[in-house]
Homo-oligomer: A and B are copies of this chain.
Amino acid sequence: MAASASASLRHHLLLLRRPRFALSPIPTFRASSFPRLHQRLFASAPSSSAVEDGESSSSPVMPPDGSSVVDVNPPRGTRDFPPEDMRLRTWLFDQFREVSRIMAFEEVDFPVLESEALFIRKAGEEITQQLYNFEDKGGRRVVLRPEITPSLARLVIKQGKSVSLPLKWFTIGQCWRYERMTRGRRREHYQWNMDIFGMPKVRAESELLQAIILLFERLGITSSDVGIRVSSRKVLQAVLNMYSIPEHLFTEVCVIVDKLGKLTREEIEKELITTGLSSEAVQGIIEVLSLKSLPKLEEVLGSNVEAVADLKKLFSFAEQYGYADWICFDASVVRGLAYYTGIVFEAFDREGKLRAICGGGRYDRLLSTFGSEDVPACGFGFGDAVIVELLKEKGLLPDLSRQIDDIVFPLDEELEGPASSVASSLRRKGRSVDLVEDKRLKWVFKHAERINAGRLILVGKSEWERGMVRVKILSTREEYEVKADELQ
């Protein structure tokens, strides 16, 4: 234990000196306070502490009275989900699940802990440089997974012949990364993944794009808010072929050119030259990557190139699905994952304020890197952070207040038995019932408002002696007596 407390912990300690709990009504979960809560929920900076990576601040310290105080924040870069944040998360995940159901995908899941071997790749991707990895007590190299695709691929290999292709799977899971000394970035997020295995044609990509667009539509987002940039890694492949650049440089080149926008053009060019490319090839690559029109691409690469045929097919499908206004060709899209081989895409806000909302592509050769036979595959990952920022921006966050059917309240301590029967019988009918005791009636009314209760059921002495309870409908203020055993 550290002997001295950091500034933020000293603040905690001060708070701890005062009584922290009161049985008084403090309306916290009211709808009016919702925007603030959302801001807290998906802010990219950890809300916990102003001191970033001051290692001592997450260790327990000794307060003056000698008892140890545990840091009340979750580990640096991670989130708690108190009820109001959890309601938003559940709502969002329900949208993911509903779209997946509509698209006829099946849900799967994997351990958040995986073997490091699944994620060891040498192309210099950011994702593999920030692995949250460690050695377990048995000496195994393990990671808190940074992404879910390798686990999906692993399960596909494991299931082997016992499943019939194509497989359409989705999953929603937490992913982790570890960055040292970086301010204001989270170390975990949740990701919705949809993947199709065993479908070699761009039909698969078209289906994935429909899923993403159906989700946007359900959330109230339009094609004037959001677009999806589409390209194919085969574009870059064709350019490399034009300059006779060896096959083994392909992945590395993809990972480098994905940094366009983050690095300057000069830095990108320098990195490309370092891999051994001629400056002529580098210029050729950068020129092609600036193309934003499919006819232009066809002009440059010729129409016999797979990249062009795939993209034309995809845009023709888009017309038939009815989502052509959402997508556009943009050769600069390459995506940062090493394993993509064909079509790649990413959704972006048209105002250009946010990072990519989701991204994906085809990865036909991932399984062979695991020593198995390849299966054509494509998929996308859709995080829980940027989409919520966008919904907030557009005023599309729903009002997710708490909702309870009934509050049962005995007016007298000796009526706690009858109140138990009343609550129990309503619950057996499937109604959500909050049984409240040891409060003043005024508190109960405020509480009823706070949790949007439908009815207040008062168990009073004189009524109970006649086998009755008093019911108050909270929306209409209507009040009546009813026989306890006829209460519905």
Known A-B contacts A74-B111, A107-B90; the reply to A416 vs B203 at CB < 8 A is yes
8 Å CB contact of A421 from B83, B134, B322, B428: B322
User: Is A353 close to B, CB under 8 A?
Assistant: no
Q: Which residues of B contact A169 (CB under 8 A)?
A: 83
Known A-B contacts A16-B373, A138-B55, A140-B75; the reply to A28 vs B420 at CB < 8 A is no
Q: Interface readout for A44-81 with B: 1 if CB under 8 Å, 0 if not?
A: 00000000010100111001000111111111101111
Q: Interface readout for A370-402 with B: 1 if CB under 8 Å, 0 if not?
A: 111101000000000000000000000000001
Q: Interface readout for A105-133 with B: 1 if CB under 8 Å, 0 if not?
A: 01111111111011000000000000010
User: Is A260 close to B, CB under 8 A?
Assistant: no
Known A-B contacts A81-B108, A117-B60, A322-B424; the reply to A21 vs B86 at CB < 8 A is no
A207-238 interface with B by 8 A CB criterion? 207, 210, 214, 217
Known A-B contacts A26-B162, A137-B180, A433-B102; the reply to A113 vs B81 at CB < 8 A is no
CB distance from A486 to the nearest CB of B (A): 17
Q: Is the CB of B115 within 8 A of A70?
A: yes
8 Å CB contact of A165 from B15, B23, B320: B23
Known A-B contacts A103-B432, A321-B421; the reply to A372 vs B16 at CB < 8 A is yes
CA distance A353 to B287 in the complex (A): 71
A10-53 interface with B by 8 A CB criterion? 13, 15-16, 19-28, 53
Contacting chain B: which of A152-160, A278-286, A339-347?
A152-160
Q: How many copies does the complex hold?
A: 2
Known A-B contacts A140-B75, A404-B104; the reply to A82 vs B159 at CB < 8 A is yes
Known A-B contacts A178-B136, A371-B16; the reply to A81 vs B102 at CB < 8 A is no
User: Is A316 close to B, CB under 8 A?
Assistant: yes
Q: Is the CB of B207 within 8 A of A435?
A: yes
8 Å CB contact of A111 from B16, B75, B90, B207: B75
CA distance A135 to B90 in the complex (A): 31
CB distance from A326 to the nearest CB of B (A): 12
User: Is A460 close to B, CB under 8 A?
Assistant: no
8 Å CB contact of A214 from B188, B203, B322, B428: B428
Q: Which residues of B contact A165 (CB under 8 A)?
A: 21-23
Known A-B contacts A58-B140, A320-B417; the reply to A102 vs B427 at CB < 8 A is yes
CA distance A280 to B432 in the complex (A): 51
8 Å CB contact of A210 from B206, B375, B424, B431: B424
Known A-B contacts A139-B55, A210-B427, A320-B418; the reply to A370 vs B433 at CB < 8 A is no
User: Is A265 close to B, CB under 8 A?
Assistant: no
CA distance A136 to B58 in the complex (A): 12
Known A-B contacts A60-B117, A89-B109, A140-B55; the reply to A155 vs B15 at CB < 8 A is no
CA distance A76 to B113 in the complex (A): 10
Known A-B contacts A155-B82, A160-B20, A180-B137; the reply to A59 vs B117 at CB < 8 A is yes
Known A-B contacts A102-B427, A161-B20, A370-B70; the reply to A75 vs B114 at CB < 8 A is yes
A319-364 interface with B by 8 A CB criterion? 320-323
A149-190 interface with B by 8 A CB criterion? 151, 154-155, 157-165, 168-169, 174, 176, 178, 180, 188
CA distance A242 to B200 in the complex (A): 77
User: Is A261 close to B, CB under 8 A?
Assistant: no
8 Å CB contact of A28 from B16, B162, B432: B162
Known A-B contacts A75-B111, A83-B169, A109-B81; the reply to A136 vs B134 at CB < 8 A is yes
Query: Shortest 7 CB-CB distances between A and B: which pairs?
Result: A69-B371, A83-B106, A104-B434, A78-B111, A81-B109, A320-B420, A72-B158
